[in-house]
Amino acid sequence: MESSKQCPRCAAERLRTWNELSDEEREVVRRLPESADYSLEERKAGRLWCIRCWFETRGGSDLV
């Protein structure tokens, strides 16, 4: 999964995978409103997050 893309919302240095998040950052993600279409397990497997603005996106197909 490509995680070097910049955040399209705030232009932070890069989006991160679940495994790249710290324990504290993972807790923030757990508390973010979940999409009705995705469980936390699905989000862990295929999503990327910006740790500056908490933008969440699929792992590549919807990045600018």
Q: What is the DSSP string of 4-64?
A: -PPPTTT--S--B-GGGS-HHHHHHHHHSPPPTT--HHHHHHHEEE-TTT--EEESSTT--
47 bridge partner residues: 58
Residue numbers of the domain that contains 12: 1-64
Tell me what pLDDT residue 63 has: 53
Tell me what pLDDT residue 61 has: 53
Number of domains composing the chain: 1
How does pLDDT run across 2-54, given as a tens digit for each residue? 446 889 999 988 999 999 999 999 999 988 876 667 888 988 999 999 999 99
Q: Whole-model pTM?
A: 0.79
Tell me what pLDDT residue 64 has: 45
Cβ contact 58:46 at 8 Å: yes
Q: Give Cα separations from 28 to 31, 34, 52, 60 (angstroms).
A: 5, 12, 12, 22
